[in-house]
Chain A
């Protein structure tokens, strides 16, 4: 079974640009969550989608958005990039909605550098 696939692996953008990151979950998984990892803030939850609906949202500005398609693939978009958006963006997939019953599997992440 293929794991969680995130593309691209590395990305360089300049301030003010926008970026779209992609996540393909494990086959059959309907939940996709996104996290931002930075040296100062650690791993922070961005949002979770389940069956195309946003289930949870973290404390991030509206410049961060996401969506999930009918095949469970998910994208996240960051508009008007700032230097502080430089981070590793991780995607995790799970088959269900209950932590106790479903393990979350993480992708290797997309490393975004904003210049």
Chain B
């Protein structure tokens, strides 16, 4: 049973436009959510996170929104740049239970110049 799902395996966006990546989870116990970016031949890199006590967190061009009632989070990238082309993973965990993360399957974002 996949507790964290990213239903879109890929997304193509024009440079300068907004990229919206979505993630759904089923375990209501999760209280901390993260987004990681992965380039080929590299490990995932932390991008942005959000606690379940918030519904929005912003860091530069990246904003994560959390809708607890819908068990849904999204990552907005504005404006999108070609260097943002990568695989994006959402992950969820329990803040007080160590560093164990449950990952979604990933969304490949392609930003076209």
B95 and A103 within 8 A (CB): no
- Indicate if the CB atoms of B46 and A97 lie closer than 8 Å: no
- In the complex, the number of residue pairs spanning A and B with C-beta atoms less than 8 Å apart equals 71
Q: Which residues of B contact A55 (CB under 8 A)?
A: 98-100
Within 8 A of B (CB), among A50-98: 50, 55-56, 58, 90, 92, 94, 97-98
B89 within 8 A of A: yes
Q: How long is the Cα–Cα vector from A105 to B94 in the complex, in angstroms?
A: 18
Q: Contact between B46 and A45 (Cβ–Cβ < 8 Å)?
A: no
Q: Chain B contacts of A45 at CB under 8 A?
A: 100-102
Q: Are B89 and A43 in contact (CB under 8 A)?
A: yes
Question: Would you call the interface of chain B mostly helix, strand, loop, or mixed?
Answer: loop
Q: Which residues of A contact B (CB under 8 A)?
A: 4, 31, 33, 35, 42-45, 48, 50, 55-56, 58, 90, 92, 94, 97-100, 102-109
Q: A106-B44, A108-B42 are in contact. Are A99 and B95 (CB under 8 A)?
A: yes
